[in-house]
Amino acid sequence: MKLFKFSLTKVLEYKEMVQNIESNILKEMKDNHNRLLRELDALVEQYQKGKEELIRKSRQGATVSELKAEGEYLSYLQEQINLKQLEIRKSEQSIEIQIAKLTKVKTEKASIERLKEKEFKAYKFLEQKENEVYIDEFVSNASLRPTY
């Protein structure tokens, strides 16, 4: 019997390639998301330090212009924090979309793999039947031979 050859091998290889690409994209998105979270943490830390500095300066009797400058800096940081949070939300949405894409590709690949398993089982079954027929013929021919 000839060797087993799955008819959709190229499709399965293509799906594996697509899955790898989509997985790499997801990994990059998660790395970017983690970077955004670290940047947000740094901004929040700067904001807290700036707030503490403003309180310290106001207690020490700093000039109005110094307090105003410190307040403007805090407003700028708050705006940056809000922008970063928006960017993080967009990143989370993109990650969810990418996960859905990856799930779809994995499902398609799994269905092709199940089809391959079914075809292989059918191949093995036919191979076993051919072997049984061969053995039966061999036994029949052996019993027909004259013994001397």
147 pLDDT higher than 80: no
* 13-27, 35-49, 59-73, 99-113: least confidently modelled range: 59-73
Over residues 120-132, the mean pLDDT reads 91
pLDDT of residue 31: 98
71 pLDDT higher than 80: yes
Dump pLDDT digits (tens) for 28-46: 999 999 999 999 999 999 9
Provide the pLDDT confidence category of residue 134 given band limits of 50, 70 and 90.
Answer: confident
Please spell the DSSP secondary structure of 39-106, one letter per residue.
HHHHHHHHHHHHHHHHHHHHHHT--HHHHHHHHHHHHHHHHHHHHHHHHHHHHHHHHHHHHHHHHHHH
Vertex 140, ends 135 and 141: CA angle to 5°? 100
Dump pLDDT digits (tens) for 91-119: 999 999 999 999 999 999 999 999 999 99
CA 94 – CA 83 distance, rounded (Å)? 17
DSSP designation for 62: -
- pTM, full prediction: 0.76
